[in-house]
Amino acid sequence: MRRLLVGLAWGVGVFLALNLVLVLVFRWVPVPVSGLMVQRRVESWSSDKPYASRHRWVPLEEISPNLGAAVIAAEDQNFAEHFGFDWQAIEKAVQHNEKSRRKRGASTVSQQTAKNLFLWNSRSWTRKGLEAWFTLLIEAGWSKKRILEVYLNIVEFGDGVYGAEAAARTYFGKPARRLAPTEAALLAAVLPNPRRFHANAPSEYVRGRQAWILNQMRMLGGASVVKSLES
């Protein structure tokens, strides 16, 4: 029993140490591939549909602040204030889900960054627990600017399209630094389900969400909400 406990303690220690190393490395190093990208590639092996991955890392300075503002407006309006978890949004989501069949999530940009980068896409308590752990690590070790930079570079904008640069070139034929507010809002509008909603063929729902995001962006101060993260 003692040997078992010692072995378990060593295993947990190694696991935690590797987590810390990964988080510290990606504090400065561009992310070459994410956990979600790996998952999608593995899933494609058992699919008849052709799969091609498009991803190119660019620094935050080469991504239009319109996109950062659109993502914050759409996904996490308290991004600058919270420490990884928006408890108000979680409470509202719980209350909504108790009354409605259409479920609402409350994941922050920090949580989504942790999940997409280090984990896999599934619904399980194990994955949610690990997501919370990695969220705390990146909040403690990274700046808000870095969290947003990593998120915008790895988030899935469509089937095989990852990150702002790939999305801007795929859907609008331009680099991410030149995205207009309307284009940024359209990309943010598909994020709830980028494999169902399409920026290059937006449905009525996506167009309505785009209009709502543009209005929220104006209320938050537009691109200034991203520039304020730099200070």
Q: Which residue has the higher pLDDT, 106 or 158?
A: 158
Q: In this structure, is the dihedral angle defined by the CA atoms of residues 183, 184, 189 and 191, taken in order, positive or negative?
A: positive
Q: Does residue 77 have a pLDDT over 80?
A: yes
Q: Does residue 98 have a pLDDT over 70?
A: no
Cβ atoms within 10 Å of 11's Cβ, excluding its own: 10
The Cβ-side half-sphere exposure at 191, using a 13 Å CA radius, reads: 31
Tens digit of pLDDT for each residue in 186-217?
A: 999 999 899 999 999 999 999 999 999 999 99
Architecture of domain 32-230: Orthogonal Bundle (1.10)
DSSP 204-229: HHHHHHHHHHHHHHHHHTTTHHHHGG
Q: Which of 1-15, 60-74, 78-92, 148-162 has the lowest average pLDDT?
A: 1-15
Q: Give pLDDT, residue 102.
A: 64
Q: Give pLDDT, residue 103.
A: 58
Q: Give pLDDT, residue 120.
A: 84
Alpha-helix runs per DSSP H in 30-85: 35-44, 65-75
Tens digit of pLDDT for each residue in 4-54?
A: 777 777 777 777 888 899 999 999 999 999 999 999 999 999 888 888 999
Instruction: Name the DSSP letter for residue 231.
Output: -
**CB contact at 8 A, 79 and 144:** yes
Burial of 175 (0-12, 13-18, 19+ CB in 10 A): middle
Q: In this structure, is the dihedral angle defined by the CA atoms of residues 72, 197, 88 and 23, taken in order, positive or negative?
A: negative
Rounded to an integer, the average pLDDT of 120-132 is 87
**From CA 105, how far away is CA 112, in angstroms rounded?**
11
Q: Give pLDDT, residue 97.
A: 65
Own/partner long-range contacts of 129-132 (Cβ < 8 Å, ≥24 apart): 132/84, 132/85
Q: Which residue has the higher pLDDT, 105 or 76?
A: 76
Q: Give pLDDT, residue 105.
A: 63
Query: What is the maximal distance between C-alpha atoms in the chain?
Result: 62
**From CA 162, how far away is CA 54, in angstroms rounded?**
6
Tens digit of pLDDT for each residue in 129-181?
A: 999 999 999 999 999 999 999 999 999 999 999 999 999 999 999 999 999 99
